[in-house]
Structure formats: C-alpha cells, structure tokens
C-alpha cells in the first residue's frame, strides 16, 4: 500500500518539491554555521537583516510569486509529474516541479523547457483527446458512410496506444462533402504519433474502397 502511495504522480510531485525546499533551507543553515565558525556574529547580522529584507523583498517579488504558485500547483492539483501540459508553443510531459519552476520536455524538439510557476494561468493541461474529421463525398450515402466509419473504428480499437475510439456521426456539411468525426483518447505524450497512425489508417481505407477525398470547388461566373 505504501509503495502505491509513493508511486502516485501527486506524491512524486510533492516529494520533489519538498526536497527542493529542504535543500534550500539546509543550505541557508550551513552558510550561517560556517559564518559563525569564521567569527562572524550571526545574531547581529540577522538583526540587521530586517531593513535589508524589505529592499530584497521588492527585488524578489517574482520569486515569491513562483514559490506561492508552486505550492498552489500541488495543493490544487493543477498538474503533476507525468501530465502533459502546453505553454505557448511548447507542449510535453512535466518532468519536475520545484519551488520556482516547472520543467517539461517538449515533444516536438525534445528540449527541456523551464516555466516560471507564476505563469500557471497560461498553462493548459492536455487531457489526451484527439478529434479527427473525415470528409466523405456527397455521393456516398449516409448508411454506407457509417459502415465505412465503423470499420475504421474497429481497426483503431485494436491498437494498444489508443485507449478509446468512438464514432460521433456527421459533424459538418460542406459544399462537396459531409464531415464525419472520430474522437480518440490516448496518452497525451503520444498524441502526435497516434494522430499520424490514425490518418494513415483512414487514408489506407479510403484507397482500399476507392473513395476520393473531396475538394471544395470554386465556381466562377463571368458577366457578358
């Protein structure tokens, strides 16, 4: 039971954050002890810190915001280690959450990106949903189109990297096609690869059934 608790994502996140805080606190204590051994009057020094701390406080406002938001992230379950989040153009799994920063590994560049915790309001958590539109020409009747879509669903459901796949029906009516929609859930970290495999399966089935993907046509009328 204890092993399962320690392995939960939330506890891993909290343990790493507390470890970061403890290292910082211990570092300060060690510095004060060394100064005391070197003959520095630590008590007098700390007494004079009051005024200096006000000045430093203004300089460290952003860091204080990061620390407060760091604890909010954990206590409020905003995200945890292993969750996939998006910040600006970067998206990837959370690798660490410290008092000041959250680090993710961008799935496009594989670079480690650091995000200041105070930017939590700009972070989006990816739930792992993938919406895939499939345009089919008007010439294909609804009943036949739905048989085609359910066949794709059966093929995708066999994949181990896809958790669930559902056919949602007609999603849009275009000038030359009806758009049918699939909704897929998967590990957000594998979302790009799953999307590629899903599109590959759809195109392969279109070719097998000799269905051409329709293109919107532009009618030009000239006045004489």
CATH of the domain at 174: 3.30.70.100
8 and 115 inside one domain? yes
81 and 32 inside one domain? yes
78 and 152 inside one domain? no
User: Is 136 buried (19+), middle (13-18) or exposed (0-12) by CB count in 10 A?
Assistant: buried
Helices (H), 38-168: 42-47, 49-59, 61-75, 142-157
128-170: per-residue pLDDT in tens? 889 999 999 999 999 999 999 999 999 999 999 999 999 999 9
The domain tally of the chain equals 2
Residue 177 is inside which H or E element, if any? strand 177-186
26 and 100 inside one domain? yes
72-125: per-residue pLDDT in tens? 777 777 888 888 888 988 888 888 888 788 899 988 888 999 998 888 888 988
45 domain residue, yes or no: yes
Residue 111 is classified by DSSP as: -
Instruction: Write out the residue range of the structural domain in which residue 154 sits.
Output: 129-208
Residue 200 has pLDDT above 90, yes or no: yes
DSSP assignment of 184-212 equals EEE-GGGHHHHHHHHHHHHHHHHHHTTPP
Per DSSP, the three-state class of 146 is helix
103 and 141 inside one domain? no
118 and 145 inside one domain? no
217 domain residue, yes or no: no
Q: What is the CATH number of the domain that holds 82?
A: 2.30.30.60
**Angle at 198 (CA atoms; ends 197, 200), nearest 5 degrees:** 65
84 and 141 inside one domain? no
Whether 105 and 95 have beta carbons less than 8 Å apart is answered as yes
86 and 164 inside one domain? no
104 and 23 inside one domain? yes
181 domain residue, yes or no: yes
Judged by average pLDDT, the poorest of 2-11, 15-24, 200-209 is: 2-11
Residue at which a domain ends, from 75, 107, 125: 125
Whether 23 and 13 have beta carbons less than 8 Å apart is answered as no
CA 61 to chain centre: 27
This prediction has a pTM of 0.60
């Amino acid at each position: 039971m204890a092993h399962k608790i320690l392995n939960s994502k939330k506890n891993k996140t909290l343990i790493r954050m507390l470890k970061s805080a403890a290292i910082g606190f211990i570092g300060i204590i060690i510095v004060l002890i060394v100064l005391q051994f070197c003959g520095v009057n630590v008590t007098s020094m700390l007494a004079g810190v009051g005024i200096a701390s006000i000045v430093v406080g203004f300089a460290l406002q952003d860091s204080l915001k990061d620390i407060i938001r760091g604890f909010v992230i954990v206590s409020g379950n905003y995200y945890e280690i292993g969750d996939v989040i998006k910040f600006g153009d970067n998206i990837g799994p959370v690798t660490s959450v410290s008092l000041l920063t959250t680090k993710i590994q961008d799935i496009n560049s594989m670079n480690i990106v650091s995000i200041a915790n105070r930017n939590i309001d700009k972070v989006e958590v990816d739930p792992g949903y993938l919406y895939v539109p499939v345009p089919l020409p008007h010439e294909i009747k609804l009943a036949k189109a739905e048989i085609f879509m359910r066949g794709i669903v059966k093929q995708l459901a066999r994949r181990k990297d896809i958790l669930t796949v559902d056919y949602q029906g007609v999603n849009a009516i275009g000038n030359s096609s009806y758009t049918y929609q699939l909704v897929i859930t998967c590990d957000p970290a594998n979302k790009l690869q799953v999307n590629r495999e899903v599109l590959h399966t759809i195109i392969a089935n279109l070719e097998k059934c000799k269905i051409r993907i329709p293109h919107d046509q532009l009618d030009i009328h000239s006045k004489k």
